[in-house]
Structure 1
Amino acid sequence: MVLIIGAGIAGLTCSANLYSKGVEVLIVEASDGVGGRVRTDVKNGFLLDRGFQILLTAYPEAQEILNFATLDLKAFQSGALIKATEGFETLSNPFENPNQIFQTVFSSVGSLADKLRILRLIWDTQNLDEEIMTLPSESTLDFLGNYGFSEKFIHQFFMPFFGGVFLENELKTSASFFKYIFGKFYEGQAVIPSGGMQKIAEQIAQKLPANTIRLNSKVIQIDANKAILSNGTSIPFDKLVVATDSFQASKLLNRPAPSSYNSTTCTYFAASKSPLDKPMLALNPDRSGLIHNMCVPSDIAPQYAPEGKSLISISTQNAPKLSDSDWENTLRKELIGWFGEEARSWEFLKKYEIKESLNPFPAGSVYNPNFEVSKHVYQCGDWTCYPSLNGAMLSGRKVAELIVDSVKR
């Protein structure tokens, strides 16, 4: 029997692949639900993802394991709204929104040369796979400068947009990873399931037979051929997969914990109507405040909010330490500056602080996964590959293949 610790995306993907090959699987999960960091809470009829997240439909692993139609995916409009002195400037994807090409070309966001370089970059990054990450590369910031983008355009678009993707504002992330992700944004769509991001994990979990997943079962120790739970129960195994986050994996495998993470804070408000006039991500080039990126998930997926209401999601990277009341007051003051007095009436719903959101993938990093810890122990998770849903799914599939090959031998 294969025992898998963790019912996140990687662990579920590994389990589903193993089960499809006839391998007996048991998952033990410390929390009260599946999904790991991909969870959705319900509050007052609103669907609150634990941190703003999206799925890119161009992810090859997602295409293999997920049923997009059943998930009822809803897409954000490609491009972004850029906060300007007055209102927003629109930067649309001309391939998806040709009717807005003139609005984009004549916006104040970047020069015409910058916009032409965007088109060239889209062309240059199509259909890339993990191979691009097997060699070390410069930082994303250095790459963009060397590619010819102006400092202003990098500051207005790339830093706020991909700062939100990488959860770091300086674009220290590897350029090879940037190119891979950039291409996937333009090969497909950025989507959310109509029922919340946790539906992704739940759909994978449905591929498993009943009683395969034991929730509220925290593993505190791994011995030679058994795992010990916090309640003292021992579970024997033939093969073990550690599919937790990197911090918990380090504790279980008795090795040093990662020294740094990219963190994010997500704050939700309820409003009577959407403050944005397009179903796009709104970016703030000024990272000195608390509003770094914002969107209205209910604009594209009405199920995220009760009828007649809108759900507003605001993300902040590496947020300053403030009390909850100071956080809400400071954030609301910024929102009033953006949208006027209507923001004063918005209902504060919840704030999520996710300090260990992503493992960094800085300049010089390479895709060189090590899934096999020992003869009987394996590890998977996006931290073993590269930080993304696709990386999590890829690692789960690869570990399942290694185990199946081992069993055959």
Structure 2
Amino acid sequence: MPTNSSALSANQPRVKPSAAEVNTADLETSVIIVGGGIAGLTCANYLKQAGIRALILEASDGVGGRVRTDHVDGFRLDRGFQILLTAYPEAQRLLNYADLNLNHFRAGAMVRHQNNWLSLLNPFQEPLSTFQALASSVGTVGDKLRIVELIRRTQGLSLDELFQQSPTTTLAFLRDFGFSDQIIERFFRPFFGGVFLEDGLTTSSNFFEFCFRLFFTGQAALPANGIGAIADQLASRLSPDQIRLHSAVARLDGKTVYLTNGQSLIANTIVLAVDAAQAAVLLGRQAPAEHAFNHTTCTYFASSTPLPDVARQKLLLLNATRSTAVHNVAILSDVAPNYAPAGQTLVSVSTQGLETVNATALTEQIKQELTSWFGDDVNHWRHLHTYHIPHALPAYPPDRAGTDAIHELLKLSENLYQCGDQTAYPSLNAAMQTGRLVADMIRKQEIHV
């Protein structure tokens, strides 16, 4: 890990710190949820609305799973570059956007291609950019007309209908739709490669259409206090004794949950709200292969000097050349000022495809590449932290997509359920959707008991 690791401290809700501190009289509960990520928190929230008490067991020192924010020298660092798509239907259903104090990116991107900057803006959200969008060399005029056609197509189908289509790869879909190699290489691959965390565009086409629709109908946003504020909001709605940190689960046996500290807890119902690798361990299944996950590396820098104007437009900065260390760049403090102390700029650099990371070497390579983007001031940037996230998202190729958004059973047995984006499609929306569906299944089960 890079410098300043000792300064990291995640936002934490008011919870009981350890299961080891709980009296044995408290060890029986209606529902135990293994995992305090977004899926587990969502499930617990909907159960509470139904009058059912759930206890969350979280192995780490804070809730949120992948959706967490750390504090380093006055900066807010999300664990990997993340955004909230405001059009997510599950997020709209459960989250209070006003309390999150959302800050929004502009709709579009700046693309770095052969040492030049190309822009592609959404004229439907920014009408004054219409002629600029038409003149952009990101794609041909025909490509831009096809984008309008794709907008109409994705708006004309419900979200369920989008997922019920027979899928192919995103790359094959784009070519079949008639898009040129020019716009695929200059926009779709760098933009959606960053969304999917894979540059081959092998992700299912129906998930691509889902994402394309949401980027068009909503906005990409950052909570003012970091992406971890989403998990904190969900945790704050639960009673403090409903979440126990540092409570790793070793195994399951019927209705009994055995913790690694030797303690055991009993519940009528158990929910696994962990990723596919952890679920496999607890279910006694074969571990998923590494190619079942897409991984990413996020490197954060602090700059005390203003960046060039081209970088300060609240747009994502995409690199059309994907063989480099710099794939996508975001100037986070321009979008969400709370992410950095006054007078400082927070820069996020994303790199896909790295299986292992030498943070020092990667930092120097990124700086070297970005001097051609922003000038020699980059050499004075201060490295804050590097996050290498090997299981950032479950891979979602066409053969996993099938004909339904939920491709794995949520009910595993009479008293055992699972939820999380690994059971559906890779997104915050899927984590929340499956958490809600499992809570509803448990509610109906308890009614009939």
Alignment-derived partner of residue 75 in structure 1: 104
- TM-score between both structures, scaled by the size of structure 2: 0.89
Alignment-derived partner of residue 40 in structure 1: 69
The structure 2 residue matched to 1:316, chosen from 346, 351, 373, is 351
- TM-score between both structures, scaled by the size of structure 1: 0.98
Q: Give the Å deviation of 1:323.
A: 2.4
The structure 1 residue matched to 2:418, chosen from 379, 382, 390, is 379
Q: Give the Å deviation of 1:134.
A: 3.1
The structure 2 residue matched to 1:238, chosen from 249, 268, 273, is 268
The structure 2 residue matched to 1:391, chosen from 430, 436, 439, is 430
* Secondary structure in structure 2 of the residue aligned to 1:211: helix
Q: Give the Å deviation of 1:98.
A: 1.4
Question: Could you give the per-residue CA deviations for residues 314-339 of structure 1, whole angstroms, max 9, x where no partner exists?
Answer: 11111264522211111111111221
* Secondary structure in structure 1 of the residue aligned to 2:315: coil
Alignment-derived partner of residue 27 in structure 2: none
Alignment-derived partner of residue 25 in structure 1: 54
Q: Give the Å deviation of 1:405.
A: 0.6
Q: Give the Å deviation of 1:136.
A: 3.5
Alignment-derived partner of residue 143 in structure 2: 114
Provide the C-alpha distance between the structure 2 equivalents of 1:322 and 1:231, rounded to a whole number of angstroms: 32
Q: Give the Å deviation of 1:75.
A: 0.7
Alignment-derived partner of residue 369 in structure 1: 408
Provide the C-alpha distance between the structure 2 equivalents of 1:30 and 1:280, rounded to a whole number of angstroms: 36
Provide the C-alpha distance between the structure 2 equivalents of 1:293 and 1:63, rounded to a whole number of angstroms: 27
2:181 counterpart of 1:181: no
* Secondary structure in structure 2 of the residue aligned to 1:237: strand
Provide the C-alpha distance between the structure 1 equivalents of 2:445 and 2:128, rounded to a whole number of angstroms: 55
Alignment-derived partner of residue 264 in structure 1: 296
Where in structure 2 are the equivalents of 1:182-261 lying within 5 Å?
182-259=212-289, 260=291, 261=293
Inter-CA distance 345–57: structure 2 relative to 1 (3 Å threshold): same
Provide the C-alpha distance between the structure 1 equivalents of 2:361 and 2:175, rounded to a whole number of angstroms: 37
The structure 2 residue matched to 1:134, chosen from 158, 164, 174, is 164
Provide the C-alpha distance between the structure 2 equivalents of 1:130 and 1:381, rounded to a whole number of angstroms: 18
Aligned residues: 409
Kept after mapping to 2: 8 A contact 1:128/1:183 = no
Provide the C-alpha distance between the structure 2 equivalents of 1:26 and 1:131, rounded to a whole number of angstroms: 35
Q: Give the Å deviation of 1:387.
A: 0.5
Q: Which runs of 4+ in 1 moved over 4 A?
A: none
Provide the C-alpha distance between the structure 1 equivalents of 2:238 and 2:259, rounded to a whole number of angstroms: 22
Alignment-derived partner of residue 20 in structure 2: none
Between stretches 80-89 and 159-168, larger displacement belongs to 80-89
Provide the C-alpha distance between the structure 1 equivalents of 2:43 and 2:51, rounded to a whole number of angstroms: 13
Alignment-derived partner of residue 62 in structure 1: 91
Provide the C-alpha distance between the structure 2 equivalents of 1:108 and 1:135, rounded to a whole number of angstroms: 32
Q: Tell me which amino acid in the other structure corresponds to 2:433.
A: L
Gap runs ≥5 in structure 1: none
Q: Tell me which amino acid in the other structure corresponds to 2:387.
A: Y
The structure 2 residue matched to 1:303, chosen from 331, 335, 338, is 338
* C-alpha RMSD over aligned residues: 1.2
Q: Give the Å deviation of 1:341.
A: 0.3
Provide the C-alpha distance between the structure 2 equivalents of 1:363 and 1:324, rounded to a whole number of angstroms: 33
* Secondary structure in structure 2 of the residue aligned to 1:202: helix
Where in structure 2 are the equivalents of 1:135-154 lying within 5 Å?
135-154=165-184
Q: Tell me which amino acid in the other structure corresponds to 2:397.
A: P
Provide the C-alpha distance between the structure 2 equivalents of 1:289 and 1:39, rounded to a whole number of angstroms: 27
Alignment-derived partner of residue 442 in structure 2: 403
Kept after mapping to 2: 8 A contact 1:264/1:355 = yes
Provide the C-alpha distance between the structure 1 equivalents of 2:412 and 2:158, rounded to a whole number of angstroms: 29
Provide the C-alpha distance between the structure 1 equivalents of 2:359 and 2:395, rounded to a whole number of angstroms: 27
Percent identity over paired residues: 46
Inter-CA distance 339–274: structure 2 relative to 1 (3 Å threshold): closer
Kept after mapping to 2: 8 A contact 1:274/1:299 = no
Q: Tell me which amino acid in the other structure corresponds to 1:381.
A: G
Q: Tell me which amino acid in the other structure corresponds to 2:199.
A: N
Q: Tell me which amino acid in the other structure corresponds to 1:269.
A: F
* Secondary structure in structure 1 of the residue aligned to 2:51: coil
The structure 1 residue matched to 2:387, chosen from 323, 344, 352, is 352
Gap runs ≥5 in structure 2: 1-29
Kept after mapping to 2: 8 A contact 1:34/1:201 = yes
Provide the C-alpha distance between the structure 2 equivalents of 1:254 and 1:322, rounded to a whole number of angstroms: 30
Question: Could you give the per-residue CA deviations for residues 29-65 of structure 1, whole angstroms, max 9, x where no partner exists?
Answer: 0011110000100001010000001111111100010
Kept after mapping to 1: 8 A contact 2:307/2:374 = no
Kept after mapping to 1: 8 A contact 2:113/2:321 = no
Between stretches 215-224 and 126-135, larger displacement belongs to 126-135
* Secondary structure in structure 1 of the residue aligned to 2:203: coil
